[in-house]
Amino acid sequence: MRSTDGGNKWEGAIISPNIPSEKNPDVFGNPMPACNRGAMCEGKDGRIYWAVIANNADSVINTSLHLLTSDDKGMTWEYACPVAKHETIYFTETSLYQTPKGYLVAFMRTANYDDYACIVRSTDGGKSFGQWESMGFKGLPLAAVKLTG
């Protein structure tokens, strides 16, 4: 839902598109809308970036992470690219951050990987992402924020 007046009034649900690789339907048999608990980020140009999951099989054990973008403050969403995928690791609760150079960095919570935090970067503005990697510590979930001092 969306409020444009500081939370006094709210407008109807904004349903995100489904990810093409999503295998599970919603309760009505329709393609499952994209979802993910984690921080979206607004880029310097106003574009919103959102990392969402897709279930690649009939269970939540096999998921992939994908990037959606919005150029109209979240009213509509476009599929951008895959972010991370693994046969047995579950990526979720991803927070995104845009660096001063414009790189997108995804900080991912995992399951089936001993809860290790993982990271993956896009150096081309979200057109593609490199190979994900472990951050070497456990993290449930991660929050990406800019610190100033």
4 burial (CB, 10 Å; 0-12 / 13-18 / 19+) is exposed
24 burial (CB, 10 Å; 0-12 / 13-18 / 19+) is middle
pTM score, whole prediction: 0.89
State the Cα–Cα distance between residues 108 and 114, nearest whole angstrom: 13
Q: What's the pLDDT score for residue 97?
A: 95
Q: What is the pLDDT of residues 78-117, one digit of tens each?
A: 999 999 998 888 898 999 999 999 999 999 999 889 999 9
Q: What's the pLDDT score for residue 93?
A: 92
Which residues of the chain register pLDDT less than 70?
57-62
Q: What's the pLDDT score for residue 58?
A: 59
Q: How many CA atoms lie within 13 A of 147 on its CB side?
A: 3
